[in-house]
Amino acid sequence: MAEMWISMGPQHPMTHGLWTLKVKVDGETVVDTEPDLGYIHRGVEKICEARDFTQITTYCDRLCYASANTWSHAYIYAAEDLLDVEVPERAEYIRMVAVELQRIASHLMWLGAYCPDVGNLTGMVWCLREREMMMDLLQELGGSRMHYNFPRVGGVKRDLPIGFAMRCRAKLKLFLDRIQEYEALLDESTIFLIRTQGVGYAKAEEMINHGVSGPNVRAAGHNYDVRWAHPYSVYDELDWEPSVERPSIKGSDCYDRYRVRVEEMRQSASMVLEGLDKMPGGSETYHEPGDPAILAKVRERAAEGKTGYHHFEDSRGESMFYLVGGGEKRGKHPYRVSIRSPMFITIPYAAKCMIGYKIADIPAIMGSFDPCIGETDR
Amino acid sequence: MTEDIINMRGWVRTAMDFVSENTIGMSRHWEYTDSVAWFLTEFMMCVMVFGGIMTTLLVLLWMERKLLGRFMDRRGARTSLRSLWVGENGVTAGEWWTQLPFGTGIPIGMLNKALNEIAGNDHKLEAVSRVKNRSYHGVWWLLPGFFQNLADGMKFLTKEHMVPEKADRYVFEIAPFLIIATTVMCFTFIPLGPNFHSNNSEMSILFLMAVFSVAPLGVFFAGWSSNNKYTLLGGIRSAAQLTAYEIPLLVTVLSVVVLSGSFNLIEVIEFQVDSGVWNIFLLPLGAVLFIVVMVAEVERIPFDMPEAEAELVEGWWTEYGGMRWGLMFASEYLRTYAACLLFAHFFLGGWEAPFEDTIPFIHYIPHITWVFLKAWFIFIFFVWFRAALHRVRTDQILEFGWRWLLPLSLVNLAMATVLRLWVYDGVKEEWPILVPILITSISLALFVLLSIDEDPKALEAQTRPFSVQTVDVASPGQHRK
């Protein structure tokens, strides 16, 4: 059969968003691929230049629909680096709880999307059911279900609600039980194993050369987790280790990437449980109360040419915010905001990973890298 | 023949004799009276079988929706059972029974009230109702969702029929007819009861299988003529898959034929009635093979490669819409229904009631009940597979079909031959009950042994128990030389 190009996207079940994957196939075998991104480019970086430092948080929430909290936190740490703001310890713990709950929700969303990719709807319904618990917890914190706008420069929006820790512990315990159900549904299913094992090999060194990070690179056996390698927040006070898979000599396959995320969900749950125990008392969650107090100091603290940045372990890899202060000329606004999106780097690599496999493997391989187009196109 | 309290063919024949004697028998063409009565009988039986199948097809769709809901979202047993008659999220349809004429709805209302009190969510405390996970309405129920399929059908009928501009118009239009017509034709040869069938030809199984395997041709037509890359791939996959699974299917059916000694479906059932044991206890391997192959033949998960929605959107029927899509969808379920009915006839004794000889008065239940109950019971397995399993890849499907199912079906055929030659050789006195017991227990033991596929050493060494061969190690940048 002659080779032909198939255009998968912009609306296609495989894409998990709005982008196009052009696939050149020879019969059922993929010969060449070409990702085509940029359908939902909103110019977030440029928009941020016209917003003051406290307004940017809401835009960062909208970078990724599945993992809003991690992105707003990534920005907040960079802004605090630029503005030299100190954060109370309790606020750091609350942030950690919020981010890790978001990570669980994001990974559940990923697993829920991955199951239909390999042909099973049950997994999706189960995952969304458990994600609902995380959404409820995050709603208690941020007041919203999707875009929380929870962190503030210098702290968090508000203290934990009364009884939050109790509900959080109960739900996480239930969740830790239910992870075993996913493993019973997926790991013990021969069909799931033959669909994911030996498919979509990605080597650690190649991924590092491309700049891929996060669970994808940890699945390939490379122990790099920003929370672990360059601890920020309170991660060095917790008792944990990054979950790293031991892949085969060919690299990590889809199954490795699935395993590492399931392990991360377990780990995040235990981190939240530990954080709730270690959290210092008091109600001080806001170092410099009120946005006006922060904004009043922006002109002197974010001097012209001064930069602030922060590497953040997002659910999908290493995200980074790079802020440049504008001094008097820019007023309360930053001079420049630059965002490093892990998925923008991963998607082209993942598209090359599927060369040589079958068409049926495309969703399995692409889904295993956990694409999120909101942050990719920014 | 099995005695049945419903002698549908006889009744219809009597009625048609009456009709033709009083019409054509009175005319100068009186010598054709018998032929006309025969023709009318056949016609009426066709209509009745077709109507029965199409009506009970709604049960299948309803079962699939409800069962999948249970499998996918774990609810407590009580909620699950109750929600079979309570509408999803307590949606009510009003007290429709009050609209019925002559007060015929009064018993329905009373039953509704009683069930509401027992299992309803109309508790006087709102919190209790919320715990029951239903909104604060009363219960209307009994079959909400059952008539959803009729509403869907109405919607399909009102939709515009579109043919893609660059499609091969004639082939595109012919393909659905080919699929639907051959699917409906299958039911000509499937009896619903001892005296409830439209056709009883000598070689009915052969004819049935021949008709059953015409539809793949239509699928291939549909996939090719739509002039869409996804449908083309779906059509090719369908052709490859159905060809690979046609042969094990035929060999498995052949084993049943060999054991029963007849190509006639009714005689296959009569053999099971006579021998006192259903074929599933004689050919357990054949039963398993049959259901696996049938899942592939009707293109359901895990073998729904031709319409894999994750990569091929909807495969070969992407370009169809309106009632053509609706009828093709119905024909897929009809094929599933045919598969379930065939399983019931081939392996579960057809219309024979379980323990028909031992339970008193069980023969007063019409035999058609057992046929439907068995078919629906088999359909539960189809839904279960769909809820629990993933989609197998194309090459894996073909490999599984050629390398496992074909040899296993040959083994099964050999077993059937041995049974026919030395055990069930037509002399009834020598048919021992020990043989099915032995075969069944050995098969169950083998099944349990083979189910334990965990290799502790492999688990410890973290090696991959399952691995597939790939073309090459994919490596970015190397594909463009």
Q: Which residues of chain B have a CB within 8 Å of the CB of A363?
A: 310-311
- B93, amino acid identity: A
- Provide the chain B residues 407-446 that lie in CB contact (below 8 A) with chain A: none
Looking at the structure, do residues B103 and B227 belong to the same domain, yes or no?
no
CB B4 within 8 A of CB B194: yes
Looking at the structure, do residues B137 and B180 belong to the same domain, yes or no?
no
Q: What is the pLDDT of residue B145?
A: 59
Inspect the interface and report whether the beta carbons of B390 and A349 lie closer than 8 Å.
no
Q: Which residues of chain B have a CB within 8 Å of the CB of A250?
A: 473
Looking at the structure, do residues B378 and B447 belong to the same domain, yes or no?
yes
**Is the Cβ of B102 closer than 8 Å to some Cβ of chain A?**
no
Q: Which residues of chain A have a CB within 8 Å of the CB of B301?
A: 119-120
Higher pLDDT, residue A335 or A188: A335
Structure tokens belonging to residue A286: 């806001």
Domains identified in chain B, total number: 2
Looking at the structure, do residues B107 and B242 belong to the same domain, yes or no?
no
Q: What is the pLDDT of residue B449?
A: 83
Structural domain contains residue B24: no
SS (H, E, C) A106-175: HHHHHHHHHHHHCCCCHHHHHHHHHHHHHHHHHHHHHCCCCCCCCEECCEECCCCCCCHHHHHHHHHHHH
Between A192, A349, A359, which is nearest B311 by CB? A359
Q: What is the pLDDT of residue B252?
A: 93
pTM: 0.81
Of A169, A141, A161, the closest CA to residue A277 belongs to A169
Largest CA distance in chain A: 70
- The whole-number average pLDDT for the span A216-244 is 86
Structural domain contains residue B95: yes
Structural domain contains residue B64: no
Looking at the structure, do residues B120 and B175 belong to the same domain, yes or no?
no
**Is the Cβ of B455 closer than 8 Å to some Cβ of chain A?**
no
With vertex at residue B73, the alpha carbon angle to CA B72 and CA B76, rounded to the nearest 5 degrees, is: 130
Between B68, B471, B473, which is nearest A29 by CB? B471
Inspect the interface and report whether the beta carbons of A185 and B388 lie closer than 8 Å.
yes
- Other beta carbons less than 10 A from residue A255's beta carbon: 26
Distance from CA of A197 to the nearest CA of B (A): 6
Looking at the structure, do residues B273 and B359 belong to the same domain, yes or no?
yes
- Token pair 């028909």 in the structure block, residue: B356
Structural domain contains residue B104: yes
Of A159, A152, A162, the closest CA to residue A90 belongs to A159
Inspect the interface and report whether the beta carbons of B464 and A199 lie closer than 8 Å.
no
Dist CA B173 CA B178 (whole Å):
9
Task: Return the residue of A nearest to B386 by Cα.
Answer: A120
Cα–Cα distances in angstroms (integers) from residue A217 to residues A12, A253, B464, in the given order? 26, 11, 20
| Percent of the residues in chain A that have a pLDDT greater than 90, as a whole number | 13
Dist CA A170 CA A174 (whole Å):
6
Between A125, A194, A246, which is nearest B72 by CB? A125
Question: Going by DSSP bridges, is the β-strand pair A29-36/A151-152 parallel, antiparallel, or unpaired?
Answer: unpaired
With vertex at residue B384, the alpha carbon angle to CA B379 and CA B389, rounded to the nearest 5 degrees, is: 130
Structural domain contains residue B294: yes
Average pLDDT of chain A? 86
Q: Which residues of chain A have a CB within 8 Å of the CB of B472?
A: 356
SS (H, E, C) chain B: CCCCCCCHHHHHHHHHHHHHHHCHHHCCCHHHHHHHHHHHHHHHHHHHHHHHHHHHHHHHHHHHHHHHHHHHCCCCHHHHHHCCCECHHHCCCCCHHHHCHHHCCHHHHHHHHHHHHHHCCCCCCHHHHHHCCCCCCCCCECCCCCCHHHHHHHHHHCCCCCCCCCCCHHHHHHHHHHHHHHHHHHCCCCCCECCECCCCCCCHHHHHHHHHCCHHHHHHHHHHHCCCHHHHHHHHHHHHHHHHHHHHHHHHHHHHHHHHCCCCHHHHHHHHHHHCCCHHHHCHHHHHHHHHHHHHHCCCCCCCHHHCCCCCCCHHHCCCCHHHHHHHHHHHHHHHHHHHHHHHHHHCCCCCCCCCCCCCCHHHCCHHHHHHHHHHHHHHHHHHHHHHCCCCCHHHHHHHHHHHHHHHHHHHHHHHHHHHHHHCCCCHHHCCCHHHHHHHHHHHHHHHHHHCCCCHHHHHHCCCCCCCCCCCCCCCCCCCC
- The whole-number average pLDDT for the span A132-154 is 86
For the stretch A252-298, pLDDT in tens is 888 889 988 988 998 899 999 999 988 888 777 776 666 777 777 87
Q: What is the pLDDT of residue B83?
A: 43
Between B390, B468, B479, which is nearest A118 by CB? B390
Q: Which residues of chain B have a CB within 8 Å of the CB of A175?
A: none
Looking at the structure, do residues B112 and B220 belong to the same domain, yes or no?
no
Inspect the interface and report whether the beta carbons of A117 and B395 lie closer than 8 Å.
no
Between A4, A129, A197, which is nearest B466 by CB? A197
Between B71, B311, B470, which is nearest A198 by CB? B470
Q: Which residues of chain B have a CB within 8 Å of the CB of A203?
A: 475
Looking at the structure, do residues B272 and B346 belong to the same domain, yes or no?
yes
Distance from CA of A108 to the nearest CA of B (A): 15
**Is the Cβ of B302 closer than 8 Å to some Cβ of chain A?**
yes
Looking at the structure, do residues B139 and B285 belong to the same domain, yes or no?
no
Distance from CA of A62 to the nearest CA of B (A): 26
Between A13, A28, A119, which is nearest B313 by CB? A13
Looking at the structure, do residues B278 and B353 belong to the same domain, yes or no?
yes
Dist CA A157 CA A299 (whole Å):
23
Domain ranges of chain A: 54-352
Q: Is the pLDDT of residue A107 over 90?
A: yes
| Torsion angle of C-alpha atoms B316, B319, B324, B328, degrees rounded to 10 | 20
Inspect the interface and report whether the beta carbons of A120 and B391 lie closer than 8 Å.
yes
In total, the C-beta contacts within 8 angstroms joining chain A to chain B are 141
Dist CA A199 CA B38 (whole Å):
62
Distance from CA of A340 to the nearest CA of B (A): 22
Task: Return the residue of A nearest to B234 by Cα.
Answer: A28
For the stretch A295-315, pLDDT in tens is 778 777 878 888 888 999 999
Cα–Cα distances in angstroms (integers) from residue A88 to residues A91, A93, A167, A285, in the given order? 5, 9, 24, 6
Looking at the structure, do residues B206 and B290 belong to the same domain, yes or no?
yes
Which among A115, A197, A260, A359 is the top mutation candidate for probing chain B, defined by the most B β-carbons within 10 Å of its own β-carbon? A359
Looking at the structure, do residues B219 and B322 belong to the same domain, yes or no?
yes
Q: Which residues of chain B have a CB within 8 Å of the CB of A28?
A: 233, 237, 394-395
Inspect the interface and report whether the beta carbons of A126 and B302 lie closer than 8 Å.
no
Instruction: Look up the CATH number of domain A54-352.
Output: 1.10.645.10
Q: What is the pLDDT of residue B431?
A: 66
Which among A195, A206, A207 is the top mutation candidate for probing chain B, defined by the most B β-carbons within 10 Å of its own β-carbon? A195
Inspect the interface and report whether the beta carbons of B470 and A356 lie closer than 8 Å.
yes
Structural domain contains residue B477: no
H-assigned helices in chain A: 44-49, 56-61, 68-83, 89-117, 122-142, 164-186, 190-196, 204-210, 215-219, 226-229, 254-278, 291-296, 298-301, 327-330, 342-353, 361-368, 373-377
Between A12, A119, A255, which is nearest B301 by CB? A119
- Other beta carbons less than 10 A from residue A224's beta carbon: 18
CB B251 within 8 A of CB B409: yes
Parent domain of B321: 169-460
Write out chain B's pLDDT in tens, 481 residues.
567 777 888 888 899 889 888 888 888 888 888 888 889 988 999 899 889 898 888 888 888 877 777 677 654 334 444 444 444 444 444 566 677 788 887 887 787 667 666 655 555 665 555 555 443 344 444 445 567 778 888 888 898 888 888 888 889 888 898 999 999 888 888 888 888 888 888 889 999 888 888 888 888 888 888 888 888 888 888 888 888 888 899 999 999 999 888 899 988 998 888 887 888 888 899 999 999 999 988 888 888 877 777 778 877 888 888 888 888 888 889 999 999 999 999 999 888 888 877 777 877 888 888 899 999 999 989 988 888 888 888 888 888 888 889 999 999 999 899 888 887 776 666 667 788 888 889 988 988 887 776 666 655 555 544 444 333 444 444 443 3
Inspect the interface and report whether the beta carbons of A192 and B475 lie closer than 8 Å.
no
Largest CA distance in chain B: 90
Structure tokens belonging to residue A1: 């059969």
Task: Return the residue of B nearest to A3 by Cα.
Answer: B229
Structural domain contains residue B202: yes
